[in-house]
Amino acid sequence: MSGGGRLDFEIRPNPRAVAADEREALLVDPGFGRIFTDHMVTIRYADGKGWYDARVEPRAPISIDPATAVLHYAQEIFEGLKAYRNDDGVTMFRPDANARRFTVSAARMAMPALPEQVFLDSLHKLIEIDREWFPSIPDGSLYLRPFMYASEVFLGVRPALEYLYAVIASPVGAYFAGFVKPVTLWVSQEYTRAAPGGTGAAKCGGNYAASLVALTEAAANGCDQVVYLDAVHREYVDELGGMNVFVVYDDGTLVTPPLNGSILPGITRDSVITLAERAGRRVVERPIAMSQWRSEAASGRIREAFACGTAAVITPIGTVRSAAGDFTMGDGGPGEITMALRQELVDIQRGRAEDPFGWVHRVL
C-alpha cells in the first residue's frame, strides 16, 4: 500500500474482450444482472499484510477451495451503485456513501475496512476500462457490484484472516420489466429478515439468504415483493429486504420507518428525504404499524406508498396483501408525489437537472 490510503492497480486488459458488434447486440436489451463486462477488479487482504495485489483483470471464474470460509459461514458483504453515461461524460451517484457504508458493513461482519479511497479508485478503474459497456437505451446504466468475502481456507469458526475484495459491472435496463408499474407486496407474518442486534443494517448476503423463502411465499400469493415486519412485535414495517419504504399522506407528508438497526440505511432513502424536504415537504421518520397503514390507506389518509433502492430507483406500491386481506393505495396506480420524486431523482442522476447536493461524481 502506498501513502494516503491508495493502492496502485495493475491493469491487465482482456485479450478476449467481447467483439464490438456482439457487445452492441447484448446492450440492446440487457435486463438486470444477466450481462457482464470484460473486466473485474480484485484486491487481496491478509492479516498482518493488509491490502495488496490490486488488479484490473479479465473477468473470469474465481477458483476457490471447498473449505473457503465464506462457503460455510457466509462472511460476505456487498454494495450496489450505478454509473451513467450522458452527453458530456460518465458519472456515478454518491459513490462516497457506498464506500462509507461498505466499511460499516465490514465492521459488523468482523471484516477489515477497505480504505474508502481504494473503494472509489476501484470503481473508477473498472469504469474506465469497460467504458464501452454502457447501454444506450433510455433507462440504461452500468450497475457496479463491489463485494468482499472471507477467502481463507479454514473451517474453524472465527473471523477469517484472508479476504478477497472484487468489483464486477453489469449493463442494466430497468429493474422491473415494463414501465413503472406499481408492485404488490406480501406481508410476511411467519418470516422476519432482521432482528435487533442482528445484521439487518449491514449489506451482507446472509440477509438475502434469510429472505428468499418469504419471497417464494410472496410469489405463490401473486405478489412481487415482501414487506418485512419487525422481529419483536411483528407489527411495524421494516423494509422490503432490498428496498426501503415510504408512505405519503393526503397532506403531502412522507413517513418512513426510522433506522432502527434492523433496516438497511439506503442511499436512495436518504436522497428521497433530502429531495422531499427541499421541495418543502414534511418528512417524518417514525415507526409504521401495519394496522395503521391498512386503516389509513382505507380511510384515504395514506394516498401513496413507494419502495426505493438503487436498482429500481423509486417503485410505486399499489396493493399490500396478507392473510388478513388486501388494501390498496388510492386507485392502485402510481402516486403523483411518488412519480414526481422519482423524476427529480432520476434527472439529477442522469445530469439533466442541477445537483445542489454534490451527489454526482464525474468519472470520465
Binding site residues, ligand PLP, CB under 6 A? 80, 203, 207, 239, 241-244, 264, 266-269, 309-310
Residue nearer to ligand PLP on the CB measure, 309 or 334: 309
Find the shortest distance in angstroms from Cβ 37 to ligand PLP: 20
With respect to ligand PLP, which residue has the nearer C-beta, 124 or 203? 203
Minimum separation from the CB atom of position 228 to ligand PLP (A): 9
Closer to ligand PLP at the Cβ: 242 or 316? 242
**Of 145 and 301, CB closest to ligand PLP:** 145
Closest CB to ligand PLP among 140 and 266? Answer: 266
Rank residues 68 and 122 by Cβ distance to ligand PLP and give the closer one: 122
Nearer to ligand PLP, 248 or 264 (CB): 264
Minimum Å gap between C-beta 147 and ligand PLP is 12
CB 225, min distance to ligand PLP, A: 11
CB of 243 to ligand PLP, least distance (A): 5
Residue 67: CB minimum distance to ligand PLP, A = 28
Q: Provide the minimum distance between the beta carbon of 208 and ligand PLP in the complex, in angstroms, as a whole number.
A: 7
SS (H, E, C) the chain: CECCCECCCEECCCCCCCCHHHHHHHCCCCCCCCCCCCEEEEEEEECCCEEEEEEEEECCCCCCCCCEHHHHHCCEEECCEEEEEECCEEEEECHHHHHHHHHHHHHHCCCCCCCHHHHHHHHHHHHHHCHHHCCCCCCCEEEEEEEEEECCECCCCCCCCEEEEEEEEEEECCCCCCCCCCEEEEEECCCCCCCCCCCCCCCEHHHHHHHHHHHHHHHHCCCCEEEEECCCCCCEECCCCCCEEEEEECCCCEEECCCCCCCCCCHHHHHHHHHHHHCCCCEEECCCEHHHHHHHHHHCCEEEEEEEECCCEEEEEEEEEECCEEEECCCCCCCHHHHHHHHHHHHHHCCCCCCCCCCEEECC
